[in-house]
Amino acid sequence: MEQFALVDCNNFYASCERVFNPSLREKPIVILSNNDGCVVARSNEAKALGVKMGVPFFKITSLVEQHKIHVISSNYALYGDMSARVMKVIGEFAPAQEVYSIDESFLHLTGMRDLAGIGSQIRTRVKDWLGLPVCVGIAPTKTLAKLCNATAKSYSKLEGVLDYNSLSDERKARLLQSFEVGAVWGIGRRLTDKLKMLGITTAYALRESDPEEMSKRFSVVMKRTITELRGISCIDMENIDEARKQILSSRSFGRAVVDLHELEEAVTMYTSRAAEKLRGDGSLANEINVYVRTSPYLQDAYAESATVKFPHPSDDTMFLIKYAVEALRSIYKPGLVYQKAGVTLLNLVPNEGQQLSLFHSQANDAKSKRMMQALDQTNQKYGRGSLFIAGEGINKSWQIRAEYKTPAYTTSWDELAIVHAR
């Protein structure tokens, strides 16, 4: 039988902030999304006060004042760096690891012994070495490992680890009964509603439903989920070395944007960022999609996107920008108040042995390669944004707000944590 562990950091962003600011321990904390728009992470204390995930910040301002909730703008440089460290430590425990998100990773434990013991060791080591709390769920399928992880988080008696294999059939059934069907991995809001109409409201009821019939009624994805709930693995470990299939860079603006010129600056910057990621993956893009939108909450909301295909695949920022701006101009409508724009690189291919088009000169290609290397190296060494494309604009007054940001303790020389001698 296969065995998987899901290791998940508890309240990851909030926990990262606490590592560098211990006075935040035991205090309610919320972390805000880019632009300080809504809540993307909460400490347990904030959850207990009723702050919901994803709630717009302006809706909880009185709650924040009333309970002295600490408000922090998200600091992705810090979280990304801490994440890399955590994943490295966790990865030492198993022959195969799949980093599933910034704060979660699956381990392949098939054939290993004392799985719960391994879970405890992981927990202890991450706490000791990095100061971050994690929980571990262990089961013969990823879907069950997810549920076990959630249970390990909510019952302190379990000390952060739950091994599904150690439960009796009756306990397994009770565990599944304790979860609403929407809590199951792969069952979102739409499916939850549809399942409810069939009288399926818990993870247990879903497990007991007929996979074939459900496959016809819904899709093969549903069938897989049911099979996984029955303890038969059908969602394998993914190869994490595979390059991404698309790269998206988008942001809401810090203020209303009407001007085409400002949109061009934004799109230029997003394209630069996406191109950096593209080169980091060692990929080339064949197409670019650009979208703009007004606030979707307006009555006459406008949202449009355009895709442009390149004459040949490329990772050259200047080249990509040219097409991005072309796409933008085709969808720009004057007089609207834009709130967000985004750029997606599509149809990505590995940057090896690419056939150059007939009229594409070798010399130009080498030159652009050196230029892009210089750009990436400078930005890596001196911090993002040290060197940028002129079209991004200097002021960037449309950029996001981040009023409550903490320093980039681990990734920027200017902002290193200071240790005070006693």
Binder of DNA out of 10, 295, 368, 412 (CB under 7 A): 295
Binder of DNA out of 80, 91, 133, 186 (CB under 7 A): 186
Angle between helices 76-91 and 115-130 (to 10 degrees): 140
Q: Is 339 in the site for DNA (CB under 7 A)?
A: yes
Please tell me the number of Cα atoms within 13 Å of 398 on its side-chain side: 25
> Residue 257 CB: number of other CB atoms within 10 A?
22
The β-bridge relationship of strands 29-32 and 70-73 is: parallel
- The two structure tokens encoding residue 252: 């809401």
Pick 54 or 335: Cβ nearer DNA? 54
- Total residues binding DNA (CB under 7 A): 46
Closest approach, Cβ 348 to DNA, in A, equals 9
Binder of DNA out of 120, 121, 192, 354 (CB under 7 A): 192
Closest approach, Cβ 367 to DNA, in A, equals 27
Q: Is 342 in the site for DNA (CB under 7 A)?
A: yes
If you ran DSSP here, which 8-state letter would residue 52 be given? P
Pick 187 or 288: Cβ nearer DNA? 187
Q: Is 133 in the site for DNA (CB under 7 A)?
A: no
Q: Is 350 in the site for DNA (CB under 7 A)?
A: no
Binder of DNA out of 2, 10, 19, 40 (CB under 7 A): 40
Q: Is 189 in the site for DNA (CB under 7 A)?
A: yes
In this structure, which long-range contacts are made by residues 329-334, counting pairs with CB atoms below 8 Å and at least 24 apart in sequence?
329/260, 330/306, 331/290, 331/291, 331/292, 331/304, 331/305, 331/306, 332/260, 332/263, 332/292, 333/302, 333/304, 334/258, 334/260
Closest approach, Cβ 386 to DNA, in A, equals 19
Residues 4/109, Cβ–Cβ less than 8 Å: yes
Q: Whose CA is closest to 321, among 400, 393, 246?
A: 393
Q: Is 244 in the site for DNA (CB under 7 A)?
A: yes
Pick 347 or 365: Cβ nearer DNA? 347
If you ran DSSP here, which 8-state letter would residue 415 be given? G
Closest approach, Cβ 206 to DNA, in A, equals 12
Please tell me the number of Cα atoms within 13 Å of 287 on its side-chain side: 11
Output b/e per residue, 39-53; b: 16+ Cβ within 10 A: bebbbebbeebebee
Q: Is 35 in the site for DNA (CB under 7 A)?
A: yes
How far is it, in rounded angstroms, from Cα 8 to Cα 187? 19
Residues 396/390, Cβ–Cβ less than 8 Å: no
Residues in contact with DNA, shown as a per-residue x/- string from 248 to 287 under the rule CB under 7 A: xxxxx--------------------x---x----------
Q: Is 219 in the site for DNA (CB under 7 A)?
A: yes
Q: Is 154 in the site for DNA (CB under 7 A)?
A: no
How far is it, in rounded angstroms, from Cα 172 to Cα 327? 54
Q: Is 163 in the site for DNA (CB under 7 A)?
A: no
Q: Is 73 in the site for DNA (CB under 7 A)?
A: no
Q: Is 389 in the site for DNA (CB under 7 A)?
A: no
Residues in contact with DNA, shown as a per-residue x/- string from 297 to 336 under the rule CB under 7 A: x---------x-----------------------------
Stretch that binds DNA, among 98-106, 119-127, 169-177, 201-209 (CB under 7 A): 98-106
Stretch that binds DNA, among 172-180, 216-224, 259-267, 328-336 (CB under 7 A): 216-224
* 416 φψ region: left (φ > 0), alpha (ψ -120 to 50), beta (else): beta
How far is it, in rounded angstroms, from Cα 153 to Cα 376? 40
Residues of the shown chain interacting with DNA in the complex, contacts defined by CB under 7 A: 33-35, 37-38, 40, 54, 56, 58, 100-104, 146, 184-192, 219-221, 238, 244-252, 273, 277, 295, 297, 307, 339-340, 342, 400
